[in-house]
Amino acid sequence: MTSTSNEIDVTSTTALQDYIAQTVKTLDYSIDLTNLFKTATHVLLNVFPDWDEQELEFFEIASGLTNKLVKVTNKQTGVVVLVRIFGRNSERFINREEELLNVVALSILGLAAPLYAKFNNGVVYGYIPGEPFAQHDLPNMNKSALVAKHLAKFHRVEIAGSKKPVLFDKIRRWLNQGEQWNGSRSRLSSRMTNYSFFQVPEKYTDPKVNEKFASNLNLKRLKEELYFLEEQLAKPNYPVVFCHNDLLYPNIIYKDENSVTFIDFEYGGYNYRGFDIGNHFNTFAGWQCDYSLYPTKEFQLVWLRHYLSSFHPETEVTDAEVENLYREVAKFQLASLFYCSVWTLLSSEFSDIKYDFMEYAVRAFREYYRIRDEMNDKPSLPTETMIRIFSEVAEKTGLRRVWKFRCVSREMKLIIEMVVFDKFRNKIKWRIAGWSFDGDKRFQWEYADFNARILAPNANDFCARIRPITKPHWSLRCNWYEFWVRVKGQDQNKWYDLSERIEHRKGNNNNNLFGEKWFGNVKVVYHHHHSNYGSCQYTSIPEFKIDLKRLFSLIED
C-alpha cells in the first residue's frame, strides 16, 4: 500500500526517498535531442500506457540556459504534462538527486507540480496553467507584489536537507578552492560531495573565448575576491531559509490577478534569504545585462514590505524592518552577481547552449566591481592605479623578485607607515612605521618615531595591524587632524599613499569613530576615540589593518 502525500514527513530524507520509490516511475532511457518528439513519445507511453500516440500534441517551450522543455497535451483527455531534458553536463552543476527530493517535497506542500517520472537525462512532471513572466512584467508592481508574497511563503517552508547555506561552498568548488584563505580546510556540506563539479578553467578551449577571458578577467583575482565577499557576508547572522536560487522571470508563472507560482527548482536549497531576493532583483537586467533596469530603492522598499507582510502576517511591518532588509539584500546583490558570473564562466567552456556566456560574465563582473566600490566608499585611486603604484615600488625595491623567487641573498625592506597630521599646526604629529621582509616571507616590524605597539603579521594570512600604545601622555593632544597609511621602498624618497586621508575634527564628528575603507584591493580598518584623563581630554590615534596577502597578490602576476 502506498503512502498518501498528506502522510509524508517532508523534513525526512528517508521518507521522501520512500515516497519517490513508490510514486515516481524510473526509466532507463535517454531522450535524443536530434529526434526530440519521437523519443519523448517513447518516454510518455511508458509513463502513461493508456495514452494514444496519435492524440499527443508537442510544443517546445523557450526555456532558460540549461535545459530543453517540451509541453505535451493529450488532446483526448485534456491532460498536459512537461518533459524537461537536462542540458549536457548539467549534472556537474546540479545535484539531481537533491533536486528530486526538493521537487517532491514542494509538490506535497502544494508549491510545485507533481513529479511523474525520471529518465536518464530528464524528468516528466505536471503542468501548471498560466503565463510565464516576461521581463517587462517585473517592474509592474501589481504583478511583482505577487512574487514577493509567494516567495515569502516559499521561504517559510522546512524540508529535508542540510541547513548550511550552499552559496560559498559551491563557488569555492567552481573556482577550485578547497581551502579557506586562512589555511583552514573548508567543511563542504555532505550534499555537496555527492556529485562532482566542473571548475573554471585557466585556459578556454575556444581561442576567442579565452582571449576575452584573459583580457578582462583574472582567475587568481576572482579567488581573492571571493575571500572579500565571504568575509563581508558569512560572518553576520543573516537568515538562512529554503531558497529557489534561480528566480528568473521565466520561472515565475502568472496564474491570475491574485496568484503566481514558481517552477524549475533544480538550484533549490538552503541559502541566505538576502541572496534569493537579490538574485531575483538582478534578473530585472535580463540576459542582455542592462543594469539600468535594476529596480530603484523606492520599488524595492514597496516590494520588500509586501514580502515581510506575507512572511509574518501576524505582526505589523515597521519601516525599520523594511530598511534593514533592503540593506541585507543590497549586500547579497553582490553575491548574486559573483555567483552567476562564475556560473557563466563554467558554462562558457562546458555548455552546448548557443549563448555568449563569457560576455555575460564580463558585464556582470564589471557591475559587481562598480557596486562593490560604491558600497565601500570608492577609493581615491582606481584598482588599476593601485596595482601600478605598488608594482612600481616592488620593482624598485627588488621586492617582486624576492617574493616570486624566494631569493635570500639580501634582506629587502618596504616601509609601511601610519601618519597622523596635525591640521591645526600644519605638521606631522606622529609617524608609526617599519617593516622588513626577506626571501622566506618572514616579516619583522621595527619602531619609528615613538613607542608604539606593532602587531606582527599572522603567519597564515599576512594580516598586519599598526596600533599605538594609548597611554594618556602619549595620546594625541590635538582636535583637528587627519591620518592615513603610506608606503615607500628602501632607499626611496617618494611616498605612496595606501589609504585615503581620513579627517577628524572634534565637535564635527562623533567622539568614537570606526570605519572601513577600500583602496584598490587593500582594506583599511580604523578606529579612534576620545577619553578623559584627570582634568584633560585626550584623543587616542587610530589603528590600521592592512591585509598584506591581498596586497602582495597584486604583484605576483
Which CATH number belongs to the domain containing residue 58 in this structure? Answer: 3.30.200
- Report yes or no: 129 and 255 within 8 Å, Cβ to Cβ: yes
DSSP string covering 335-349: HHHHHHHHHHHHHHH
CA distance 506 to 460: 38
Query: Which amino acid, residue 143?
Result: K
- The mean pLDDT of 348-377, rounded to a whole number, is 84
Q: Which amino acid is at 17?
A: Q
Give the mean model confidence (pLDDT) for residues 47-60.
96
Write the DSSP symbol of residue 470: -
Average pLDDT for 55-84? 89
Higher pLDDT, 502 or 118: 118
Amino acid residing at 477: R
Phi, then psi, of 143 in degrees rounded to 5: -80, -40
Structural domain boundaries enclosing 14? 5-126
DSSP, res 289? T
E strands, 25-79, in order: 25-26, 56-61, 68-74
* pLDDT of 263 strictly over 50: yes
Tell me: pLDDT of 410 over 70: no
**Beta strands in 4-64, from DSSP E residues, in sequence order:** 25-26, 56-61
CATH of the domain at 324: 3.90.1200.10
**Residue 352 banded pLDDT, cuts 50, 70, 90:** confident
Q: Which of the listed residues 101, 126, 151 is the one where a domain comes to its end?
A: 126
CA quadruple 102, 106, 108, 114: dihedral sign:
negative
Confidence at 452, pLDDT banded by 50, 70, 90: very low
Q: Residue 93 — very low, low, confident or very high, per pLDDT cuts 50/70/90? A: confident
As beta bridge partners, residue 260 has 254
Burial letters for 529-550: b for 16+ Cβ neighbours within 10 Å, e otherwise?
Answer: ebeeeeeeebbbbbbbbbbbbb
Task: Tell me whether strands 115-119 and 25-26 are parallel, antiparallel or unpaired.
Answer: parallel
* Chain-centroid distance, C-alpha 281: 14
Q: Are residues 109 and 253 in the same domain?
A: no
> What is the rounded average pLDDT of the residues 332-351?
92
Decide: 452 and 467 in contact? Cβ < 8 Å.
Answer: yes
Q: How confident is the model at residue 536 (pLDDT cuts 50, 70, 90)?
A: very low
Highest mean pLDDT among 2-11, 391-400, 470-479: 2-11
3-state secondary structure of 56: strand
pLDDT at 403: 54
More confident position, 372 or 465: 372
Give the pLDDT of residue 414.
Answer: 64
The per-residue pLDDT of the chain, averaged, comes to 77
Question: Of the residues 126, 158, 187, which one is the last residue of a structural domain?
Answer: 126
Query: Between 167 and 462, where is the model more confident?
Result: 167
- CA–CA separation, 395 and 382 (whole Å): 20
pLDDT beyond 80 at 336: yes
Decide if 247 contacts 151 (C-beta within 8 A).
yes
- The model's confidence at residue 358, banded by pLDDT at 50, 70 and 90, is very high
d(CA 394, CA 400): 5
What is the distance between the terminal CA atoms of the chain, rounded to a whole angstrom? 65
Same-domain check for residues 435 and 531: yes
Higher pLDDT, 456 or 320: 320
Alpha helices for 398-539 (secondary structure H): 399-405
Q: Is the pLDDT of residue 298 over 90?
A: yes
Of 288, 283, 286, 256, the residue nearest 267 (C-alpha) = 283
Tally of domains in the chain: 3
Confidence (pLDDT) at 354: 82
Can you give 96-125 as a three-state secondary structure string? HHHHHHHHHHHHHCCCCCCEEEEECCEEEE
Distance CA 390, CA 367 (A): 25
CA dihedral 396, 401, 407, 413 (to 10 degrees): 30
Q: How many angstroms from the chain centroid is the CA of residue 479?
A: 41
Percent of the chain with pLDDT over 90: 46
Which residues are CB-contacts of 183 (< 8 A; sequence separation ≥ 6)?
A: 460, 461
| pLDDT for the residue numbered 286 | 92
A 10 A CB-CB count for 179 gives: 10
Say whether both 515 and 530 belong to one domain: yes
More confident residue, 302 or 4: 302
Q: Are residues 153 and 262 in the same domain?
A: yes
Average confidence (pLDDT) over 93-97: 85
User: Are 343 and 418 in the same domain?
Assistant: no
Least confident of 13-27, 342-356, 387-401: 387-401
Across 274-299, b (16+ Cβ under 10 Å) vs e yields: bbbbbbbbbbbbbeebebeebbeeeb
122-126 sheet: strands from edge to edge: 25-26, 115-119, 122-126, 80-85, 68-74, 56-61
Lowest mean pLDDT among 271-285, 390-404, 507-521: 507-521
d(CA 506, CA 475): 15
pLDDT higher at 501 or 129: 129
350/402 same-domain check: no
Distance in angstroms (rounded) separating the CA atoms of residues 204 and 214: 9
What are the grid coordinates assigned to 61, written together?
Answer: 517551450
439 and 468, same domain (yes or no): yes
Query: How does residue 29 score in pLDDT terms, banded at 50, 70 and 90?
Result: very high
The DSSP string of 265-284 is -TT-EEEEHHHHHHHHHHGG
Q: Given this model, what pLDDT does residue 384 score?
A: 52
CB 27 within 8 A of CB 48: no
Query: In which band, very low, low, confident or very high, does the pLDDT at 439 lie, cut at 50, 70 and 90?
Result: very low
Return the minimum-mean-pLDDT range out of 41-50, 192-201, 467-476, 514-523. 467-476
Question: Which of the pair, 400 or 35, is modelled with greater confidence?
Answer: 35
Neighbours of 104 (CB within 10 A): 25
Indicate whether 23 and 83 sit together in one domain. yes
Distance CA 79, CA 131 (A): 17
Q: Which of 99, 110, 115, 103 is CA-nearest to residue 153?
A: 110
Residue 522 scores a pLDDT above 60: no
Q: In the structure grid, which three cell numbers stand for residue 198, read together?
A: 566542473
Arithmetic mean of pLDDT, 370-393: 58
Q: What is the mean pLDDT of residues 353-359?
A: 89
Question: Among 37-51, 185-199, 513-527, which is the least confidently predicted range?
Answer: 185-199
**Is 258 strand, coil or helix?**
coil
Give the three cell numbers for residue 286: 535580463
Q: Return the minimum-mean-pLDDT range out of 118-122, 135-139, 286-290.
A: 286-290
Mean pLDDT of 269-290: 95
What is the share, in percent, of the chain residues with pLDDT greater than 70? 64
78 and 166 together in one domain = no
Does 451 have pLDDT greater than 60? Answer: no
Per-residue pLDDT, averaged over 353-361, amounts to 90
Q: What is the pLDDT of residue 489?
A: 66
> Is 419 or 148 the better-scoring residue by pLDDT?
148
- The better pLDDT of the pair 128, 529 is held by 128
Torsion of CA 219, 347, 329, 230, to 10 degrees: -30
* Listed residue (306, 378, 48, 323) closest to 152, CA to CA: 306
Predicted confidence band of residue 221 (pLDDT cuts 50, 70, 90): confident
Maximum Cα–Cα distance across the chain: 98
What's at 493, amino acid-wise? N
Per the listing, cell 516576461 goes with 134
Residue 75 CA to residue 186 CA, distance in Å, equals 53
- 108, 126, 144: which is the final residue of a domain? 126
Exposed (0-12), middle (13-18) or buried (19+): which is 497, by Cβ within 10 Å? Answer: middle
User: Is residue 72 located within the same domain as residue 185?
Assistant: no
Supply the pLDDT for residue 17. 95
Mean pLDDT of 64-90: 88
**Euclidean distance between CA atoms 514 and 512, whole angstroms:** 7
Classified as helix, coil or strand, 228 is: helix
* Nearest by Cα to 252 from 157, 337, 150: 150
Of the given ranges (145-159, 176-190, 430-444), which has the lowest mean pLDDT?
Answer: 176-190
* Together in a domain, 388 and 368: no
* Residue 492 pLDDT: 65
Least confident of 169-173, 242-246, 541-545: 541-545
356 and 440: one domain?
Answer: no
